[in-house]
Amino acid sequence: MSAAEQTLHEYLELMKKMKAYEEALGVLYWDMRTGAPRKGLEQRSEAVGVLSSELFRLGTSERMGELLAALSEPSVFAGLSRIHQRSVEENKKEYERSVKIPPEMYQKYVVLTSQAEAVWEEAKGNNDFAMFRPYLEQVVDYTKQFVELWGYQENKYDTLLDSFEPGMTVGQLDKVFGELRDRLVPLVAAVAEKKPPNTSFLSRKVPKERQKALSEYILKEIGYDFQAGRLDATVHPFATGLNPGDVRVTTRYIEDDFKNSLFSTIHEGGHALYEQNISPELIGTNLCTGTSMGIHESQSRLWENMIGRSREFWERYYGDFQRMIPEFSDISLDEFYVAINEAKASLIRTEADELTYNLHIMIRYELEKLLINDQLKVADLPEAWNEKYKDYLGIVPPNDQLGVLQDVHWSGGGFGYFPSYALGNMYAAQMMHAMKQAIPSFDEHVRSGSFGPIREWLTEKIYKHGRVLTPSEVIRNTAGAELDPSFLTDYLQRKFSEIYKL
């Protein structure tokens, strides 16, 4: 072996070791959320702490720094495969971010956010923003200090965006969100003028066992591989990819809200299809995961909303649905389709429909940007929040519990994350457009429940590449163009004009 080969070998071994720790931690987290006994959790967090520390130590070790430096030498780097090049690039980026934060500072921050999350939960319960405020102020302060340490070019917020959506900037987001807002605000207003559809039957009681059978059936239909995953029940649904052969999803069963479990299942199933179809050659590397939060979210949204809430999908499955859920035998396909697509301005993001959801995100994006750039004080946040809801959605939260206190993200320092949700919708619409051009019989496939060609196209363009392609490479690879919000607005205009007869 040459010196360069030896360096690469050592680097790959170190990365494999880190992935082993990540996988073990993934199982521990999954276990804690799916039924680990309450009384064992304190001791379990010891194990999580020891493994996390070791993982962090490996990733920020001097040796890792030396290996990355050696492999980044232009003459060495040029000789690496594309996969190894991308692996080094991504690891180097994370390594540099991590070592720029002094360990004591990071330690204090970890303690702070864990306290802040607990305080947030109590403050939300008590509808008491004042209680949460000092903690949020500190979290914002730390975040700003991190940005200073990491550095930034145009806008401080760019650095935060980059953690979740590599390459995304305020400049680009302002533009696309601006276009989105200009088209969506009037569309939401037009829908609000119309008579709301009948949705009362959606709250009919459906036993948990029937919902579970339905979730399993639909997951299988869209091509989720149960030999490479499992479905469990949790309070908050999630998907976790431990490795491509073990991608688990969860859902939530609510007796008088069957659609909660069904659409959560399809949503998490979309995330899972991405992870199950990553190329096996990426296993054991840091590239064996979705390329960004936004691209990941595009897949959950594409399957949940653009396929799972489409008329074509229900033309295929409504008969099966009625057989499995006889509670709906007197409801026509048309009534059902309109009801599951009801759009109306609401206060809570996580319960928002496909149309209004994006406005919830834009509000948060604009507030975060102001906070990080010292243009808004935490103390003034509730008022700013309520104003934005009035402007964008035409409704004002009656209290902070239903307003600024609703999301957990900020207590944990997750600034820059929210835009991923709306990016996911935009990416998804643009991908769908490209896919329908590439597969002219797309609607026919959905109408006959043959998702193979759809999954294969997505795998070829997106899934198999893991993190080898950057988010913007993924969108260029699928749609042949940069991110363009008009595909989402056109899609929403078309869909909701038809449903609401605008």
Binding residues for its own copies restricted to 134-163, rule: CB under 8 A = none
Number of residues engaging its own copies in binding (CB under 8 A): 40
Structure tokens at 48: 């999580």
The answer to whether the CB of 244 falls within 8 A of the CB of 288 is yes
At which residue do the structure tokens 């499995």 appear? Answer: 324
In whole angstroms, what is the distance from residue 359 CA to residue 343 CA?
12
Q: What is the dihedral of CA 488, 490, 496, 497, to 10 degrees?
A: 170
Nearest to 249 by CA among 212, 197, 284: 212
Question: Rounded to the nearest whole angstrom, what is the least distance from the CB of residue 296 to its own copies in the complex?
Answer: 19
The piece of 45-53, 65-73, 339-347, 425-433 that touches its own copies (CB under 8 A) is 45-53
When the beta carbons of 243 and 406 are compared against its own copies, the nearer one is 243
Residue 16 CA: distances (Å) to CA of 21, 45, 244, 452: 9, 24, 15, 32
Binding residues for its own copies restricted to 274-333, rule: CB under 8 A = 283-284
19 forms part of the interface with its own copies (CB under 8 A):
yes
When the beta carbons of 28 and 339 are compared against its own copies, the nearer one is 28
The piece of 225-233, 397-405, 457-465, 479-487 that touches its own copies (CB under 8 A) is 225-233
What is the arrangement of strands in the sheet containing 231-233, beginning at the earlier edge strand?
Answer: 231-233, 246-251, 239-243
Question: Rounded to the nearest whole angstrom, what is the least distance from the CB of residue 281 to its own copies in the complex?
Answer: 13
58 forms part of the interface with its own copies (CB under 8 A):
no
Binding residues for its own copies restricted to 247-276, rule: CB under 8 A = 248
| Options 268, 297, 354, 366, the catalytic residue | 268
Structure tokens at 330: 């007197």
The piece of 26-34, 293-301, 305-313, 319-327 that touches its own copies (CB under 8 A) is 26-34
Kindly give, in sequence order, each residue whose CB lies less than 8 Å from that of residue 71, ignoring residues fewer than 6 positions away: 4, 7, 8, 11, 77, 80, 84, 88
When the beta carbons of 285 and 420 are compared against its own copies, the nearer one is 285
40 forms part of the interface with its own copies (CB under 8 A):
yes
Nearest to 177 by CA among 346, 349, 343, 358: 358
The piece of 48-56, 128-136, 192-200, 470-478 that touches its own copies (CB under 8 A) is 48-56
Told to judge if 104 belongs to the known catalytic residues of this protein, a careful annotator would answer: no
When the beta carbons of 199 and 279 are compared against its own copies, the nearer one is 279
The answer to whether the CB of 487 falls within 8 A of the CB of 430 is yes
Kindly give, in sequence order, each residue whose CB lies less than 8 Å from that of residue 236, ignoring residues fewer than 6 positions away: 33, 252
Question: Rounded to the nearest whole angstrom, what is the least distance from the CB of residue 488 to its own copies in the complex?
Answer: 34
235 forms part of the interface with its own copies (CB under 8 A):
no
Tell me the three state secondary structure of residue 248. strand
Catalogue the active-site residues.
268
Binding site for its own copies (CB under 8 A): 16-17, 19-21, 23-24, 27-28, 31, 35-44, 46-47, 49-51, 54, 225-230, 242-246, 248, 283-284
